Amino acid sequence: MAESRPPKRSKITRGEDDYMPGNILEIELHNFMTFDYLKCKPAPRLNLVIGPNGSGKSSLVCAIALGLGGEPQLLGRATSIGAYVKRGEESGYIKITLRGDHKEERLIIMRKINTNNKSEWLFNGNVVPKKDVAESIQRFNIQVNNLTQFLPQDRVCEFAKLTPVQLLEETEKVVGDPQLPEQHRALIDKSRALKHIELSLEKNEGTLKQLKERNAELEKDVERVRQRDELLAKAESMKKKLPWLRYDMKQAEYREAKKRENDAEKALKEAAKLLSDLKEPIKKQKDEKAALDANCKKVSSRLSDNAKKRMDLREKDSQLDVELQGKYKDMEELRGQEKSRQQKLEKARKELAAAELELENLHPFVPPKDELQRLKDEIRRLDTSASQVRQNRSQAESEIKHKKSLLMRCKERLRDMNNKSTKCLLALQKSGVDKIFEAYKWVQENRNQFNKEVFGPVLLEVNVPNREHARYLEGHVAYYVWKSFMTQDSRDRDLLAKNLKFFDVPILNYTGGDGHPIRPFEISEDMRALGINSRLDQIFDAPVAVKEMLIKNSSLDNSYIGTKETDQKSEVVPRLGIMDLWTPENHYRWSGSRYGNHVSASVEQVNPPDLLSNTSNVGEIEILLSEERELERQIAPLEESIKRSQDEERSLQNQAADLRKQWETVSTTAQNEQRKRKEIVHRIEQRKGILKSMEEKVDMDTEIAKLVEQATKCNIQRFHNSIKIKDLLVEAMGYRQNVVELRMSLIEFEAKIGEMEANLKQHDKFALQASLHFDNCKKEAENCKQQLTDSLNYAKSIARLTPELEKEFLEMPTTIEELEAAIQDTTSQANSILFVNHNILEQYEHRQRQIEDLAAKLEADKNECRRCLAELDNIKGKWLPTLRNLVAQINETFRCNFQEMAVAGEVSLDEHDTNFDQFGIHIKVKFRENGQLQILSAHHQSGGERSVSTIVYLVSLQDLTNCPFRVVDEINQGWLLFGVNCFWIDLTRSRDLYLTLFLPGMDPINERKMFQQLVRAASKPNTPQCFLLTPKLLPDLQYSEACSILNVMNGPWIEQPSKVWTTGDPWSIITGHVRQTLC
């Protein structure tokens, strides 16, 4: 079923105000590209926009494109919307007023933009999404991305590359019935689908034929296979009865096992009853025995308490006996002490006399104070000297520690530098120089072959201390320079070029003295006021030759560095003669205009550094190496000085130790003499005290009387204890007799219980055997039951019993042995039928199913093919006549326009039967009388001839265009056709420049004819609104009432004439004001 088509778009006609729906009524710009503010009200037909190059005519084209939903990429200029904001401003806007379907209706579309690449859309004053704006524009057939409607200057080459097929597609979108491109796309899709179906039909018919032929060859073998399958099926049917026969056998076994289980259970119950009858008397006897045992334990406890009391009394009697013997012994000792006291007194008097005599005979001792003081002073002097030596050594150790710390940091810094070199090489390798490590290694290994020093890669030679400055330097210097090796001699350059040619690294040869002096570095007060603080040649370190090469190669002495403040005042910078400036966010370049004092600027965003973030300084490495050697030289004598100090300190310490030993010897001798005298005096005092205590008289009779009284009390206590022990012995005898009687009764009970338990044990053994027998029978019955269940489940899994199956089983043998023999015979008979391919039946049936499926698919494909062919003929019947008629109209206009310029041309439709994706439009032209019509291409026509042919083709579409306006930017170099209802032709670019770079311009004769054709086309009733952009017009051109003039001017003298111009005064008055201003 064909898809529903959108309604045909009606032809746009002019209203009473001479404007067409979708015409541009007003363009208002603010801070957009070169304009601070602009308001323009175009006329409804041809508008001539005149102004010198660089005045901003093409900015109007960009404003229309971006203001009506276009993206920056469409214009082929900047890729971000923020780049279209005027330099030095933060934001701007584009406001375009379109005429609606009637005179009073106005569609005001505003797009606000800022330097952050943000856009805000307003429709009739309300904020709306971009989608709503696009839908409103689309109803006027405005197509921004159609090169035949919108072709900016910077996308001319894309239009030139349009193939005939692409040209047809773009033409269908712009002119004629809006359903043409949809019908064309549908034809392409349907034709591709039809070809796919036809190929599928052809392939499937062949496959079907092959399958039928192969199945016909297998029919005999298939019959034999079916016979064999029937025998095997019969054997399988017999196999189904086997598990049921086994189930019957297991059922009989289960019945026998269940009977044995019941008998064993009955015997177990009888044995249990007999055990219960025997256990009751035994329990009664044990209870009586327990009562006797408790009474026996109670009597035994009382007997134990009696024995404990008797033991305590015996211990007390023993203590009293010991105490009594002690008293008797003390009385004997007192009598013997008086005799020995007299002997001791005599001995003490003799010892005291001997000690006093020894004190009298002791020589007087004078302490050697002078000698001790002399030794102390000498020791103190040696300690002071050693302390001074130790302090000097500590200072030397601190100094050497500091030097070693500096040496360690120096070595670490060198390691970091070497590591940075590796990082730089890795960065170059990642950037695309795959063999930079090999090249660097070769240069390092062969430095002895060079006549002068060779540097490189340059990236390793440069060190930028400030990372912010590294961004500027890397962005300013060309990439090839960073990966280059630099020589200072032509022979070294040739040697490197020969050996490094396979490493893909450039070779630079710099000899200096090229006559380009480096500008002295100077920052004026005006520069400082703007935030300019440095210059690119001042921010990095490198070997002298490398630095000079970079400055002269990249003009670093002409590029200055500013701050964020400089960004805000960038428009003032060119007045100081600075044409290149770097700030933290932007890179500014200024260039002067060839037509006056106008200065144009370009701004690029500053990117972070990729290479210079890892640079190292070779000069710094050399400085660090020299510092390392100097520190090692300074550390060596310091270590020697420390060793000498240690030896000197050790010598002083040894001398002081000897003196201390002498002082200790003298001091010890004096102390011994003093201690000896003190000991003799102490011994005399001690002897006097002993003698005094011994001379005191002791009262011996009183002491002996006290001892006799104490001995008497001990004898009385011993008597009372003996009486208590006798009473306890009588009580213990009664307890022992009672215990013996109770134990005899217990023995009798134990004998009876033992006899009864032996009888119980015998019956318990019989009961245990009955229980085991019952358990075995029960397990056996359960096993039989499980086997019966498994056998039943297995039989059911093989085949469930049905009346039909039971009937079949009745015809089969009734025993397992006979049934197995019958199965074997049937299987042998089936196996006797031999064939080569065992899968032949499966293959035959599978192929038969394929034949049925393929036949059904063939029938469906044939129906689809007939349906698709009918739809294709239907769409083609509508599309092709309409397209032929449209191309014929374009060809008629194109041929007539060429005839007016005395040349020939035609437009034809390139048809390819049903290959609708190859249909195209051929533009054929002839610019010479003796020539023939040839297809327009770069191989047959010149640039000017292609320019004329293309603009004539675009003019030929004018009457057929169903859009409000069309835009062509630069008639001589390219065009911009915009499906918005206006037609722009911009002649603003320098012809000389484009003559050398892209396309030659038209000569004055053809340009005059083309202008007349444009005027005539614009004067027709329903042609779109048109604009002609040019820096000049040829003299004596013919104009019509449909022409209007829009002037675009800029420069230092334009302000006053622009005010006069707005009043509508004649050109002579305006030029007079200009001359007066110049004077």
CB 254 within 8 A of CB 781: yes
| Cα distances (Å, whole numbers) of residue 1071 to 12, 1056, 1076, 1078 | 42, 11, 9, 11
Q: With helix as H, strand as E and coil as C, how does 932-999 read?
A: CCEECCCCCCCHHHHHHHHHHHHHHCCCCECCCECEECCCCCCCEECCCCEEEEECCCCHHHHHHHCC
Mean pLDDT of 1002-1012: 70
Q: What angle do CA 172, 175, 177 make, to 5 degrees?
A: 75
Q: How many CB atoms lie within 10 A of CB 179?
A: 19
Q: Which helix (H) or strand (E) covers residue 95, if one does?
A: strand 91-99
Lowest mean pLDDT among 180-184, 186-190, 331-335: 331-335
d(CA 254, CA 244): 15
pLDDT at 133 over 80: yes
Return the higher-pLDDT residue of 484 and 624. 484
Which of 908, 913, 911 lies closest to 925, judged by CA? 908
CB 87 within 8 A of CB 571: yes
Return the higher-pLDDT residue of 151 and 31. 31
Lowest mean pLDDT among 145-149, 600-604, 986-990, 1033-1037: 986-990
For residue 207 the two structure tokens come to 């496959």
pLDDT for 3: 42
pLDDT at 1071 over 70: no
pLDDT at 487 over 90: yes
- What are the pLDDT digits (tens) for 353-362? 777 777 777 6
pLDDT for 987: 33
Query: At 322, which amino acid appears?
Result: V
- Point out which residues pair with 111 in neighbouring strands: 94, 121
d(CA 375, CA 731): 93
Query: At 462, which amino acid appears?
Result: V
d(CA 959, CA 951): 14
pLDDT at 614 over 90: no
pLDDT band at 979 (very low <50, low <70, confident <90, very high): very low
Mean pLDDT of 671-688: 74
pLDDT for 750: 76
Q: How far is CA 903 from the centre of its chain?
A: 66
pLDDT for 455: 92
Lowest mean pLDDT among 205-209, 468-472, 878-882: 205-209
d(CA 757, CA 1049): 138
d(CA 76, CA 65): 12
pLDDT at 11 over 70: no
Q: Which helix (H) or strand (E) covers residue 94, if one does?
A: strand 91-99
pLDDT for 207: 83
Which of 1069, 983, 1071, 1024 lies closest to 151, judged by CA? 983
pLDDT at 259 over 80: yes
Mean pLDDT of 316-326: 76
Return the higher-pLDDT residue of 424 and 1034. 424
CA diameter of the chain: 184
d(CA 492, CA 450): 6
- What are the pLDDT digits (tens) for 754-773? 777 777 777 778 778 878 88
For residue 502 the two structure tokens come to 């396979």
pLDDT at 947 over 80: no
pLDDT band at 1003 (very low <50, low <70, confident <90, very high): low
Return the higher-pLDDT residue of 612 and 337. 612
Question: DSSP class of residue 541?
Answer: B
How many residues appear in the chain? 1079
| Cα distances (Å, whole numbers) of residue 821 to 809, 817, 895 | 15, 6, 103
Question: DSSP class of residue 227?
Answer: H
d(CA 518, CA 599): 25
pLDDT band at 830 (very low <50, low <70, confident <90, very high): low
Mean pLDDT of 518-538: 86
Which of 978, 971, 962, 1029 lies closest to 1000, judged by CA? 971
Contacts of the segment 847-854: beta carbons below 8 A, 24+ positions apart = 847/211, 847/214, 847/215, 848/215, 850/211, 851/208, 851/211, 851/212, 851/215, 854/204, 854/207, 854/208, 854/211
d(CA 275, CA 107): 117
Helices (H) and strands (E) in the chain, counts: 25, 22
CB 172 within 8 A of CB 92: no
For residue 800 the two structure tokens come to 């469930």
The dihedrals phi and psi of 952, each to the nearest 5 degrees, come to -65, -40
pLDDT for 650: 81
pLDDT for 988: 33
- Point out which residues pair with 884 in neighbouring strands: none
For the chain, percent of residues with pLDDT exceeding 90: 6
pLDDT for 991: 26
pLDDT for 485: 93
pLDDT at 986 over 50: no
For residue 733 the two structure tokens come to 């005898």
pLDDT for 450: 92
pLDDT for 346: 75
CB 861 within 8 A of CB 197: yes
- What are the pLDDT digits (tens) for 87-129? 888 899 999 998 888 888 888 999 999 988 888 999 888 989 9
Mean pLDDT of 338-343: 67
Mean pLDDT of 664-688: 75
d(CA 92, CA 79): 17
pLDDT for 678: 76
Q: Cβ-count burial of 767 within 10 angstroms (0-12 exposed, 13-18 middle, 19+ buried)? A: middle
- What are the pLDDT digits (tens) for 793-827? 887 787 787 887 777 777 777 787 777 787 777 77
CB 9 within 8 A of CB 141: yes
For residue 208 the two structure tokens come to 């079907």
CB 123 within 8 A of CB 133: yes
pLDDT band at 1052 (very low <50, low <70, confident <90, very high): low
Lowest mean pLDDT among 137-151, 314-328, 874-888, 909-923: 137-151
Mean pLDDT of 1039-1064: 69
Q: How many CB atoms lie within 10 A of CB 165?
A: 16
pLDDT for 220: 66
Query: At 239, which amino acid appears?
Result: K
Question: Phi/psi class of residue 513: alpha, beta or left (left: φ > 0; alpha: ψ in -120 to 50)?
Answer: left
DSSP per-residue string spanning 783-835: HHHHHHHHHHHHHHHH----HHHHHHHHTS-SSHHHHHHHHHHHHHHHHTS--
DSSP per-residue string spanning 574-607: GGGT--EEE-SSEEEEEEE-TTSS-EEEEEEEPP
pLDDT at 151 over 60: no
Lowest mean pLDDT among 152-161, 302-311, 314-323, 638-647: 152-161
Mean pLDDT of 187-212: 83
d(CA 68, CA 967): 13
Give the N- to C-terminal CA distance of the chain in Å, as an integer: 80
Q: Cβ-count burial of 184 within 10 angstroms (0-12 exposed, 13-18 middle, 19+ buried)? A: buried
pLDDT for 561: 92
DSSP per-residue string spanning 886-919: HHHHHHHHHHHHHHHTT-EEEEEEE--TT-GGG-
DSSP per-residue string spanning 97-166: EEE-SSTT-EEEEEEEEETTS-EEEEETTEEE-HHHHHHHHHTTT--TT-TBTEE-GGGHHHHHT--HHH
pLDDT for 4: 39
Return the higher-pLDDT residue of 845 and 988. 845
CB 549 within 8 A of CB 510: yes
- What are the pLDDT digits (tens) for 590-605? 887 665 567 778 888 8
The residue whose two tokens read 């090249």 is 439
How would you label 378-399 residue by residue, b for 16+ Cβ within 10 Å and e otherwise?
Answer: bbeebeebbeebbebbeebeee
3-state secondary structure of 24: strand
- What are the pLDDT digits (tens) for 737-757? 777 777 787 777 777 777 777
| Cα distances (Å, whole numbers) of residue 416 to 371, 419, 436, 621 | 67, 5, 20, 10
3-state secondary structure of 517: coil
For the chain, percent of residues with pLDDT exceeding 70: 81
pLDDT band at 411 (very low <50, low <70, confident <90, very high): confident
DSSP per-residue string spanning 405-443: HHHHHHHHHHHHHHHHHHHHHHHHHHTT-TTHHHHHHHH
pLDDT for 36: 85
| Mean pLDDT estimate for the chain | 77
The residue whose two tokens read 């008639």 is 971
pLDDT at 990 over 50: no
